[in-house]
Structure 1
């Protein structure tokens, strides 16, 4: 058993990880089992450097606000702004405070400084403008494509008419709406009208793309489309916030994953001629199997962004899940996947899921998380990963 398990594992390096991946991979999802642990972000940085220097990758997308990330991308590609500024304003979920994220952005900027534009690394966020307290208001996302289109087309809506529909921004971001659907504006007549406007603006962007890209640039068109896509997603999410059905929270999870998948799809399309993309997020956002959770006594199920984008990309999508052994007094039992992997000699290892399955002579039980921030890997679904990265002690 020990020899077979060791045959399934290698000491972790970027090259050891990519050896498990298909040469056709265009999007590599690298998951983390919990947020806020620098060891996983440092590992991601190491992987990304290897991918850039040896595998032709030219972009990274992380679980952060897709619109805020535009400022980070402008800094790493062209030096616009300052490192302090983009770390404080270019990330959501508090991720800008991470030293490893700061190291990543600094390294990307340094890498790009001596390279022509077509070789420069790009930075993306692929989450929506969503925080635990609720979604952002739709005004910034919707007015950006309106302004872009109004410079070239006659539109049916003026900026003043949109402002009347938006009303007060504070009403859209009322934190009470997160738990009380009656506090949400998402299904008011004004919100429904804005959803139609967002849909029509996106259609105009598509219909007039040849003229618009020639009059501006492909990059400006892409940013306008990103804003329009985000506006439509936000308005759908606000409508979900106003839902009074028991399935409300599950619906919101589905809508968020769909927004993430749409963003990843657009990123892969934009980067198609430049190279593959690394996507970094929680395992639950990138896994291929269905996600499960109990919330307020209700069983919830939803498909992740990785599962959704995987249906589009097929074998061009690869997923590497990350997990860990000990975290202080939280030591995994020996009958769990993490307990078994803790017997490996490597402080960090990459495991072949197929060889791991062949090495098992007993059924493993899922690890019970010590707190709500961590979701353990399900041993029954490891066959849906392309690789497992294991960190023995965090």
Structure 2
């Protein structure tokens, strides 16, 4: 290891990480290389506490269902419900099973308990109501949006009309539709009508924003807009599930991250006067360069939510990628980035990518991990990362 490489790394602390970021940062994306490894959400919790206590952050958002997250936020903000209920119902993708997520909600609630509303921490999800096996019914999002508008405006559609068009929720959530477009209802005549209605309802929400905000509150309007984005995004995603062309899966991953980016954009705008936001998700959803993966024997490429939001925020967006060295018998080769970082003396390191690149005197090869769920960092893309967090062993 050269002195330049040693000098590029510091023991992991929140202060060491934020020292590498632009002071203009409004959204910090902290990526993890795989899901289900407790070391990364624990590291996230440690960073978030530092950001709250020393950097003025007042919100965090996770790669989790944006509507389910409202349950978790109600608990951490106002003490509504219990920690058990907020944990079990406030996360999607099986993330409720991770102790670090329960601990995050517990700490946020304790922090908020003695503080006025404007100083309290907020919890968000920025993913859609999507799971690996499919997508949710649009009914909850559509009806919540409809009810908000109907309380103040004369609408051309009744709740009964929406219910008839949606039909049984099981039609929308059928897991067989993920692999078989013929099983999807996303392009039926009813679904097409619902997409037009969702678009019209969202336009009404925007057009009457001054009146609706005055009649309710900015928070109520923001939540209505969240349901409007979600309804439109779900209907768009279901239409993608009904696509019969070879590019179907590529379309779905693009639609998902576009929905994520819109949610991140809305969160940053809502939090603008309160402070920056920490976003936590897989590296592939937050990185600036093009993401890629194999799914159903197809190579997929798409622009991540981080790449999309970076085009809107510029230097107000920062990305810190995490990766690791050894995982049991899976030890990185010396000619990989992870192999090189494994020679660092620290159990957890914060690495300056620019200084690291200056100290590398040979071409590194991308790591091929034993676990297909782990995405290694591409050495050729480190110039698009603001900070690397390296965990030597997990």
TM-score normalised by structure 1 residue count: 0.99
Alignment of 1:202-217 (within 5 A): 202-217=202-217
Query: Could you tell me how far 1:299 is from its partner in structure 2?
Result: 2.3
Match of 2:358 in 1: 358
Match of 2:40 in 1: 40
Query: Could you tell me how far 1:370 is from its partner in structure 2?
Result: 1.0
Alignment of 1:283-302 (within 5 A): 283-302=283-302
Alignment of 1:308-319 (within 5 A): 308-319=308-319
> After the TM superposition, which of the residue ranges 272-281 and 161-170 deviates more from structure 2?
161-170
> After the TM superposition, which of the residue ranges 367-376 and 335-344 deviates more from structure 2?
367-376
> What is the alpha-carbon distance in structure 1 between the residues aligned to residue 296 and residue 211 of structure 2?
51
Alignment of 1:125-204 (within 5 A): 125-204=125-204
Residues 259-299 of structure 1 show CA distances to partners (whole Å, capped at 9, x for unaligned) of 00000000000000000000000000000000122333332
Match of 1:262 in 2: 262
Residues 90-149 of structure 1 show CA distances to partners (whole Å, capped at 9, x for unaligned) of 110010111101111000000000100000000000000001110001000100010000
Instruction: For structure 2, list consecutive stretches of 5 or more residues without a partner in the other structure.
Output: none
Match of 2:93 in 1: 93
Specify the SS of the correspondent of 1:103.
helix
Specify the SS of the correspondent of 1:114.
coil
Match of 1:253 in 2: 253
> What is the alpha-carbon distance in structure 1 between the residues aligned to residue 82 and residue 294 of structure 2?
42
> What is the alpha-carbon distance in structure 2 between the residues aligned to residue 141 and residue 370 of structure 1?
40
Match of 2:377 in 1: 377
Is residue 2:327 matched to residue 1:334?
Answer: no
> What is the alpha-carbon distance in structure 2 between the residues aligned to residue 209 and residue 371 of structure 1?
49
> What is the alpha-carbon distance in structure 2 between the residues aligned to residue 257 and residue 24 of structure 1?
24
Match of 1:53 in 2: 53
Large movers: runs of 4+ above 6 Å: none
> What is the alpha-carbon distance in structure 2 between the residues aligned to residue 57 and residue 339 of structure 1?
34
> What is the alpha-carbon distance in structure 2 between the residues aligned to residue 273 and residue 370 of structure 1?
45
Specify the SS of the correspondent of 2:103.
helix
Alignment of 1:268-287 (within 5 A): 268-287=268-287
> What is the alpha-carbon distance in structure 1 between the residues aligned to residue 370 and residue 383 of structure 2?
25
Query: Could you tell me how far 1:300 is from its partner in structure 2?
Result: 1.4
> What is the alpha-carbon distance in structure 2 between the residues aligned to residue 93 and residue 177 of structure 1?
18
Instruction: For structure 1, list consecutive stretches of 5 or more residues without a partner in the other structure.
Output: none
> What is the alpha-carbon distance in structure 2 between the residues aligned to residue 213 and residue 356 of structure 1?
50
> What is the alpha-carbon distance in structure 1 between the residues aligned to residue 74 and residue 125 of structure 2?
13
> What is the alpha-carbon distance in structure 1 between the residues aligned to residue 237 and residue 96 of structure 2?
24
Specify the SS of the correspondent of 2:206.
helix
Match of 2:222 in 1: 222
Alignment of 1:68-87 (within 5 A): 68-87=68-87
> What is the alpha-carbon distance in structure 2 between the residues aligned to residue 244 and residue 369 of structure 1?
33
> What is the alpha-carbon distance in structure 2 between the residues aligned to residue 349 and residue 86 of structure 1?
33
> What is the alpha-carbon distance in structure 2 between the residues aligned to residue 296 and residue 51 of structure 1?
39
TM-score normalised by structure 2 residue count: 0.99
> What is the alpha-carbon distance in structure 1 between the residues aligned to residue 337 and residue 7 of structure 2?
16
Match of 1:22 in 2: 22
Specify the SS of the correspondent of 2:300.
strand
> What is the alpha-carbon distance in structure 1 between the residues aligned to residue 162 and residue 114 of structure 2?
43
> What is the alpha-carbon distance in structure 2 between the residues aligned to residue 103 and residue 164 of structure 1?
42
Aligned Cα root-mean-square deviation (Å): 0.7
> What is the alpha-carbon distance in structure 2 between the residues aligned to residue 372 and residue 142 of structure 1?
37
> What is the alpha-carbon distance in structure 2 between the residues aligned to residue 393 and residue 386 of structure 1?
22
> What is the alpha-carbon distance in structure 2 between the residues aligned to residue 256 and residue 311 of structure 1?
17
Match of 1:242 in 2: 242
